[in-house]
Amino acid sequence: MERKIAVIRGDGIGPEIVDGALKVIDAISEKYGHKFIYEDVLMGGASINVYGKPLTDEFLSKAASCDAILLGAIGGDASVSPWYKLESFLRPEAGLLKLRKSLNLFANLRPSYLYDELKDACPLKEEIVEDGFDMVIMRELTGGLYFGERETVLKNGEYVAHDNLVYSESEIRRIAIRAFDIARKRNKKVTSVDKANVIDTSRLWRKVIEEVSKEYPDVKLEHMLVDNCAMQLIKNPKQFDVILTENMFGDILSDEASMITGSIGMLSSASLRDDSFGMYEPSHGSAPDIAGKDIANPIATILSAAMMLRYSFDMIAEANSIENAVKKVLEDGYRTVDIMSEGKKEVSCSKMSELIADRI
Ligand code: IPM
Ligand code: MG
């Protein structure tokens, strides 16, 4: 099979972790006889440095013409980077939001599970995680506060700002369908998270989710308020299967869900729409403090590449092969510094990628 991948290395540790993932994809291509064509796309700070904006229309079209996007990470240290002196629509993050919105990538899947091998790195008490947990957050990605009209105005001698939180029934319905479809293939439970005791968008959210759930009698639906969900993730993460939520709540809860796995360096993500196109990136950021040192953990990006093979290219055996190689490398005792524990072998980013590629 031949597939074209838009490769966005991005900023900070982005280039290192993407190169690691490409090593692993190359190993897949060799083993299974596929041809992957890589198209470089500039986005984020790397693009600002050259073009003065985070994503040019040319690169947007180039990315759109590929079969999928593999992204490292974007952004820098806001306290020192010149990128953050720019207007907000010219900063690195604006490139990411433009990609999500223009390509209609409305369904963001963020899995969070505890590897047996990494239980030591989990910050929760042993009695809470002795049986592990395995959930996926389905975050709506192209609506809500991120894309509502916003403004800061001077009123009676002081600045007043507003951000609009808007959701339509159709936006809610399409993400709900994705979440129920995925729950059906997993443990058949959807926890829909909202703030229906206070805000209208959440009350509409609840109504549409109820309607969609009628089409899935085999999937259990429960509603949970977002503040309670934040607490339950720490108290009893095992109760969750699919967490379905809107853009801003999903942003916050997915960081929390990743932290309890031991390291945010392990978690992949996929941003999908109704056809097979998707964007795949680690859940973590660009970690400018460790950029260029070859110590970042490439596993989240490598697992994102596995999701790309599974969801965009329908290469199931190939995706499993990457996931098994990651498991094997952990079983064999190799660790990057973020997940290092006593008695294990510490390796660099490039070495970790090589070890995983060797196990394909
Ligand atoms: C994420 C990130 C982004 C978001 C930022 C970089 C704009 O935090 O993907 O979770 O808020 O969506
Ligand atoms: Mg986030």
Give the HSE-up count for residue 123: Cα atoms under 13 Å, Cβ half-sphere.
10
Tens of pLDDT, residues 88-124: 899 999 999 999 999 999 999 999 999 888 888 888 9
**CA distance linking residue 41 with residue 9, whole number of Å:** 8
Q: In the chain, what percentage of residues exceed pLDDT 90?
A: 91
Q: Which of 304, 286, 264, 267 lies closest to 14 in space, CA to CA?
A: 286
221 lines ligand 1 (CB under 6 A): no
Using DSSP's 3-state secondary structure scheme, residue 192 falls into strand
Task: Spell out the residues 6+ positions from residue 160 whose beta carbon is closer than 8 angstroms to its own.
Answer: 152, 153, 154
Q: Are the C-beta atoms of residues 212 and 204 closer than 8 Å to each other? A: no
Among this protein's residues, is 227 annotated catalytic? Answer: yes
User: What pLDDT score was predicted for residue 303?
Assistant: 97
How confident is the model over 264-293, as a mean pLDDT?
Answer: 94
How confident is the model over 334-346, as a mean pLDDT?
Answer: 92
10: left (phi over 0), alpha (psi -120 to 50) or beta: left
Tens of pLDDT, residues 130-175: 899 999 999 999 999 999 999 999 999 999 999 999 999 999 999 9
Given 1.10.579.10, 3.20.20.70, 3.40.718.10, 3.40.50.970, which CATH number is that of 123-260? 3.40.718.10
**CA distance linking residue 243 with residue 162, whole number of Å:** 28
Q: Can you spell out the DSSP letters for 29-57?
A: HHHHT-EEEEEE---THHHHHHHSSS--H
Contacts of 113-116 spanning 24+ positions with Cβ under 8 A = 113/261, 114/260, 114/261, 114/262, 115/261, 115/262, 115/266, 115/327, 115/330
pTM of the model: 0.94
11 lines ligand 1 (CB under 6 A): no
In SS3 terms, 196-263 reads as CCCCHHHHHHHHHHHHHHCCCCCCEEEEEEHHHHHHHHHHCHHHCCEEEECHHHHHHHHHHHHHCCCC
93 lines ligand 1 (CB under 6 A): yes
Q: Which residue(s) pair with 38 in the sheet?
A: 5
Task: Write the residue with the smallest CA distance to atom 7 of ligand 1.
Answer: 93
Task: Write the residue with the smallest CA distance to atom 2 of ligand 1.
Answer: 251
Task: Spell out the residues 6+ positions from residue 40 whose beta carbon is closer than 8 angstroms to its own.
Answer: 7, 9
Rounded to the nearest whole angstrom, what is the distance from the C-alpha of residue 100 to the centroid of ligand 1? 11
Radius of gyration of the chain (CA): 20
pLDDT at 70 over 90: yes
Categorize the per-residue pLDDT at 331 as very low, low, confident or very high, splitting at 50, 70 and 90.
very high
Rounded to the nearest whole angstrom, what is the distance from the C-alpha of residue 217 to the centroid of ligand 1? 33
DSSP letter assigned to residue 344:
P
Given 3.40.50.620, 3.10.20.740, 1.25.40.10, 3.40.718.10, which CATH number is that of 1-106+275-360? 3.40.718.10
Among this protein's residues, is 194 annotated catalytic? Answer: no
281 lines ligand 1 (CB under 6 A): no
Categorize the per-residue pLDDT at 334 as very low, low, confident or very high, splitting at 50, 70 and 90.
very high
Where along the chain do the CATH 3.40.718.10 domains lie?
A: 1-106+275-360, 123-260
Q: Which of 180, 192, 245, 193 lies closest to 219 in space, CA to CA?
A: 180
Q: What is the mean pLDDT of the chain?
A: 96
Q: In the chain, what percentage of residues exceed pLDDT 70?
A: 100
How confident is the model over 176-203, as a mean pLDDT?
Answer: 97
Tens of pLDDT, residues 213-267: 999 999 999 999 999 999 999 999 999 999 999 999 999 999 899 889 988 888 8
Among this protein's residues, is 251 annotated catalytic? Answer: yes
Q: Are the C-beta atoms of residues 353 and 140 closer than 8 Å to each other? A: no
241 lines ligand 1 (CB under 6 A): no
Task: Spell out the residues 6+ positions from residue 93 whose beta carbon is closer than 8 angstroms to its own.
Answer: 44, 54, 74, 75
Among this protein's residues, is 167 annotated catalytic? Answer: no
